[in-house]
Amino acid sequence: MFFKIDRNYFIEEINKCNRIIDYKSLSPNLTGILVEVTAEKISLISTNSNFSIKTSTNNFENGLEIKEAGTMLIRGKYFLEILRRMDDEIINISKVETNLITLSGEKSEFTLNILDHLDYPLIAFREKGTVVELDSSELKKALNQTIISVNEWNQKIVLSGLNFSVDNDIFYVTGTDGFRVSRKQITLNYPLEEKFEANIPFKGVHEIIKILSEKGLCKLVLQDNYLSVLINETIFQVNLLEGQFPNVNSVFPTDFNSTIYVENKKFVKLISRADIPSEENLSTVVNLILQGESIFIKSNIQLVGSFEEEFKEFELRGLDEQNIYFNSRYLLESLKTFETKTIEINFIDAKKPIVISSSEDLSLSQIILPMSSN
Amino acid sequence: MFFKIDRNYFIEEINKCNRIIDYKSLSPNLTGILVEVTAEKISLISTNSNFSIKTSTNNFENGLEIKEAGTMLIRGKYFLEILRRMDDEIINISKVETNLITLSGEKSEFTLNILDHLDYPLIAFREKGTVVELDSSELKKALNQTIISVNEWNQKIVLSGLNFSVDNDIFYVTGTDGFRVSRKQITLNYPLEEKFEANIPFKGVHEIIKILSEKGLCKLVLQDNYLSVLINETIFQVNLLEGQFPNVNSVFPTDFNSTIYVENKKFVKLISRADIPSEENLSTVVNLILQGESIFIKSNIQLVGSFEEEFKEFELRGLDEQNIYFNSRYLLESLKTFETKTIEINFIDAKKPIVISSSEDLSLSQIILPMSSN
């Protein structure tokens, strides 16, 4: 095995693979990155118990010049550290013995031990199945806006990740922990005939967010119990969560008694003042009282003190009386997912969930269950 | 007690005091910040077992308007969090009960519990004694350049901090852990008649670095077993380390067999390549071989691999043969303290300390003991 490649490009690719490696793995080979060099291309593969990644580069792209095919299993962490300390634009990698490679630039030369690639598991990457094509940045935004409602450690396994589903030409991303629901809709370019339903584990969602770029398209491919995300020459494949995701449509209230329209930034600042940090860094219970032309926000934290503020910069539709208690963090996290100038908070009464939305962007809804006043 | 003050300014001052508080202290009162308001000024005081800080503001400066004098002991951490979440330019603070204050802006009002100031220790801040006046940024730089050789956990207590001493009109800052020495000289505006010798504990040095500003002067005041650093209206007072600091002048070699002149940035990059990270993140032994017109840098790390590079971009004075082993981290840390373009590395032989200096800045010297080749 012998090839040349652009150093900065190689750092990026190894970094993608290195990020998912579980260095606490009991099998030392799983802490390696498999490098497969054929006459046409080089592929890097890494895996952990939940997901796998494969990223490829064709010969003559990104400075790649393949002189001799072969396979090696490198220690990604050290490789990255070393590559970052080198100066050269192009580096040479060559296998000198079964378990030894040289990594060299113009003047410096590293001789590095490698792992045994024969012990590496064979990973099947699925590129065919039910396909949904999406704008990368739109999907990235949707994941960031909905992951807030997911509790990674939820005892109900199916809730410990995000749900992807398609209804005709609408792609839904939904997250819930039982106390709140985040839902985002993305309109597809064409309706999908097949059923598409996948539950992506929390950590997988965060990895997908990292590999999604700001522009271009990505493909989601569903097959068996796997979802593959294809972006250019990179495939990220995740094992899905098992179970039936609850039908959250049924919890979405539609008839409201009061709707307040506020400038989101101001409201976020107001609620963050009420969210007084406590000794144990717990979230605060915030009391929102709508009374005529004022909203009073009150909170109280044992040992630290209390807060009160009168807020008048809002418009109201419907009933001008509400008295409702919230978890301050849930409210803050929901508000912060909106990039719109104004938002709407819809109330029924003190015991029914509130819905946060914005007429400037109908694709996103956040639902929060109120707390009991005691 | 009742006063108004500029919110951003108050955040800065509370932050200075909050930083040194030991929140693990068994005495809850020591986790507070003492606020003393007189007719003329407001002072904030905090302390831990090793150092204390007092920062004052005169009435009518920084938005301060004193309406009523008094004393309170506030929980700095919460105070900071709350102040940061407020919008107001000017805030009002007023004591309403023995253990309760209100903190208010135009619309929002916080009612906060405070601690009992009668239980707070009386701290004597020493502003008189043997005085040295220095440029703040020059002292800051000197501390950063010398602290690298200090081991906070050195069993020899006097070595667990930096030594300040004055000889005629030269102010010396010296640090050593027994394996290396860092020494910086600052020329005073006038010779000092009195003896000045102080050993500042590691953590105290880091606090001094933080409070020193980029411009202006600072005063160091030595009295009894305390050093006070005075910067504008802030006094930072530290308990000194006891013991006799070793006379490092005796270890400074003066006659060298070989001196190499190199561009510092290039040499730092070279040595950082040799400093291959190991599984336990230990430092590497680097072998420097000077042979005619080349320097060979070699290193070797168990399990990971080895490194070799030939380096020719240097000038030499003296003997063109040396073969010497170093701790890579010690060498790297020393090199990085130089802000000059070129540096000089002076050798005697494989067993004698090397001295790193620069003819562009004669105020700084770094000494490193070589390692044995086995």
Shortest Cα–Cα distance, B13 to chain A (Å): 20
Between residues 113 and 172 of chain A, which touch chain B (CB distance below 8 Å)? 113
- Of A228, A248, A268, the one marking the end of a domain is A248
pLDDT band at A367; cut points 50, 70, 90: very high
For residue B314, give the 3-state DSSP assignment: strand
Percent of chain B scoring above 70 in pLDDT: 99
Residue B124 lies in a domain: no
Model confidence at A266, pLDDT cuts 50, 70, 90, reads very high
| Nearest Cα residue to A46 out of A239, A237, A241 | A237
Average pLDDT of the segment spanning B124-141: 95
Name the B residues in 71-90 with CB < 8 Å from any A CB: 75, 77-78, 81-82, 85-87
At residue B367, does pLDDT exceed 90? yes
Fill in the amino acid letter for B89.
Answer: E
Q: Do A259 and A234 lie in a common domain?
A: no
Pair (A136, A244) in one structural domain: yes
In-domain check, residue A373: no
Split at pLDDT 50, 70, 90, the class of A339 is very high
CA distance B263 to chain A (A): 15
Domain around B76: 2-119
Please check whether residue B86 lies inside any domain of the structure.
yes
Question: Are both A23 and A110 inside the same structural domain?
Answer: yes
Which tens digit of pLDDT belongs to each residue from B29-49?
999 999 999 999 999 999 998
Percent of chain B with pLDDT over 90: 87
B323-334 pLDDT, tens digit each: 999 999 999 999
- Cβ–Cβ below 8 Å for A107 and B273: no
Evaluate whether residue B236 is within a structural domain: yes
Question: In 3D, which of A371, A369, A372 has the Cα closest to residue A248?
Answer: A369
B304 Cβ under 8 Å from any chain A Cβ: yes
Q: How far is B79 from chain A (nearest CA, A)?
A: 10
The first and second tokens of residue B124, run together, are 């004597």
What is the ipTM metric for this complex? 0.83
Residues of A in contact with B273 (CB under 8 A): 82, 85-86, 108
Rounded CA separation A76/B19 (Å): 38
Do A81 and A159 belong to one domain?
no
Q: Which CATH number fits the domain that encloses residue A296?
A: 3.70.10.10
With beta carbons under 8 A apart, name residues in chain A contacting B111.
305-308
Output the pLDDT for position B373.
Answer: 67
pLDDT the model gives residue A374: 57
Residues A218 and A263 in one domain: no
Residue B146 has a pLDDT of 98
Q: By CA distance, what is B302's nearest residue in A? A: A113
- At A46, the amino acid letter reads S
Does residue B273 contact residue A85 with C-beta atoms inside 8 Å?
yes
A140 & A54 share domain: no
Mean pLDDT (chain A) is: 94
Contacts of A78 in chain B (CB under 8 A): 276-277, 304-305
Q: What is the pLDDT of residue A252?
A: 82
pLDDT at residue A133, as a whole number: 96
pLDDT in tens, B146-159: 999 999 999 999 99
End position of a domain, from candidates B119, B153, B182: B119
Nearest by CB: A273 against B86, B304, B309? B86
A84 token code pair: 């970052």
B359 & B274 share domain? yes
Q: Does residue B239 form part of some domain?
A: yes
- The answer as to whether A124 is a domain residue is no
Reference A228, options A252, A247, A200; nearest CA is A200
**pLDDT for the residue numbered B298:** 96
In angstroms, the CA A101 to CA B6 distance is: 63
CA distance B227 to chain A (A): 34
What pLDDT is recorded for position B372? 83
Confirm whether B106 is domain-assigned.
yes
Contact residues for B67 (Cβ-Cβ < 8 A; gap 6+)? B2, B3, B4
Give the separation between CA A48 and CA A23, rounded to whole angstroms. 9
Rounded to whole angstroms, how far apart are CA atoms A186 and A351? 31
Assigned domain for B150 exists: yes
Tell me: do A137 and A109 sit in the same domain: no
pLDDT at A37: 97
Position A116 confidence tier, pLDDT thresholds 50, 70, 90: very high
Say whether both B50 and B89 belong to one domain. yes
Average pLDDT over residues A170-178: 96
Quick check: A110 contacting B, CB < 8 Å?
Answer: yes
pLDDT value for A162: 98
CATH number at residue A93: 3.10.150.10
Indicate the number of domains in chain A: 3
Residue B242 has pLDDT above 60, yes or no: yes
Domain-ending residue, one of B200, B219, B248: B248
Question: What's the pLDDT at A373?
Answer: 67
Nearest to B120 by CA among B175, B63, B57, B72: B72
Q: Which residues on chain B are in Cβ contact (under 8 Å) with A109?
A: 307-309
Mean pLDDT score across all residues of chain B: 94
pLDDT value for B133: 96
> Over the stretch B57-91, which tens digit does the pLDDT of each residue have?
999 999 999 999 999 999 998 999 999 999 999 99
Same domain, A171 and A260: no
pLDDT in tens, A178-224: 999 999 999 999 999 999 999 999 999 999 999 998 889 999 999 98
Residue B261 at interface with chain A, using a CB cutoff of 8 Å: no
Domain match, B244 and B256 both: no
Assess A296–B contact: CB distance below 8 Å, yes or no: no
Give the pLDDT confidence score for residue B326 in this predicted structure: 94
Across the interface, whether the CB atoms of A273 and B113 are under 8 A apart is answered no
Question: What confidence tens digit (pLDDT) does each residue in A312-338 have?
Answer: 999 999 999 999 999 999 999 999 999
Both B155 and B240 in one domain: the answer is yes
